[in-house]
């Protein structure tokens, strides 16, 4: 069996430009993640936890917390660590650690990294989706989300079928 973890890439709403005061989040929306054979899930989970614990020390400083007080309740956004200017914003060592972890998924755990994104039309919600009658814009965001999620799942299932494996999908849905 294959185990897949998927998470959103970008944001499903409108985009005008990175300099726009309101619609500036992401020109694309989709899903990304990884797929690993089930026999490697525990080892990969331990590796992720160890890497995350290193991130915690980068964020909080060595020796500033009580010993044993690490509680993995926070999340670092991928855009903080994988974007064009991540080295300057997040810190070089943290970015290097994450990239190293990602490179181990195929090399050590026999997995694959994947992504599926679609470029969003440029414009405000009114320009792209028309007049907001009721919750039309929210419905359009949801439609974009479901279309991209459906296509990501379809591609993962085709991969599992090609590998002659069943697949179990996990999606990060906590904000």
Task: Work out the pLDDT band at 113, boundaries 50, 70, 90.
Answer: very high
Please tell me the distance from the alpha carbon of residue 10 to that of residue 12, in angstroms, as a whole number.
7
Under 8 Å between Cβ of 38 and 1: yes
pLDDT digit string, tens, across residues 35-54: 999 999 999 999 988 887 77
Please tell me the distance from the alpha carbon of residue 98 to that of residue 110, in angstroms, as a whole number.
18
Q: What pLDDT is recorded for position 169? A: 96
166 vs 57, more confident: 166
Q: What pLDDT is recorded for position 1? A: 96
- Expressed as residue numbers, the domain containing 155 is 2-171
Q: What pLDDT is recorded for position 110? A: 94
CB atoms within 10 A of CB 92: 10
How far is C-alpha 51 from the geometric centre of its chain's CA atoms?
Answer: 16
pLDDT digit string, tens, across residues 51-109: 877 776 655 555 555 555 556 555 667 666 776 666 666 567 777 888 889 999 999 99
Q: What pLDDT is recorded for position 173? A: 73
pLDDT digit string, tens, across residues 131-163: 877 788 888 889 999 999 999 999 999 999 999
pTM of the model: 0.81
With a cut of 60, say whether residue 127 has pLDDT above it.
yes
- Mean residue pLDDT across the chain: 84
Under 8 Å between Cβ of 2 and 36: yes
Total domain count, the chain: 1
Q: What pLDDT is recorded for position 37? A: 97
């Amino acid at each position: 069996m294959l185990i897949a973890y998927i998470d959103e890439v970008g944001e499903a709403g409108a985009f005008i430009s990175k300099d726009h005061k309101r619609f500036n989040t992401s020109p694309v929306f989709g899903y990304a993640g990884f797929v690993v054979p089930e026999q490697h899930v525990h080892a990969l989970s331990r590796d992720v936890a160890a890497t995350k614990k290193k991130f915690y020390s980068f964020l909080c400083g060595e020796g500033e917390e009580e010993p044993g007080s690490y509680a993995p309740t926070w999340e670092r956004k991928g855009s903080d660590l994988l974007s064009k200017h991540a080295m300057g914003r997040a810190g070089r060592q943290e970015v290097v650690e994450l990239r190293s972890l990602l490179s181990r998924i195929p090399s050590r755990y026999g997995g694959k990294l994947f992504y599926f994104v679609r470029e969003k039309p440029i414009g405000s919600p009114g320009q792209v989706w028309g007049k907001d009658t009721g919750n039309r814009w929210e419905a359009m965001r949801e439609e974009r989300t479901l279309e991209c999620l459906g296509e990501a799942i379809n591609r993962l299932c085709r991969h599992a079928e090609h590998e002659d494996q069943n697949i179990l999908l996990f999606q990060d849905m906590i904000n």
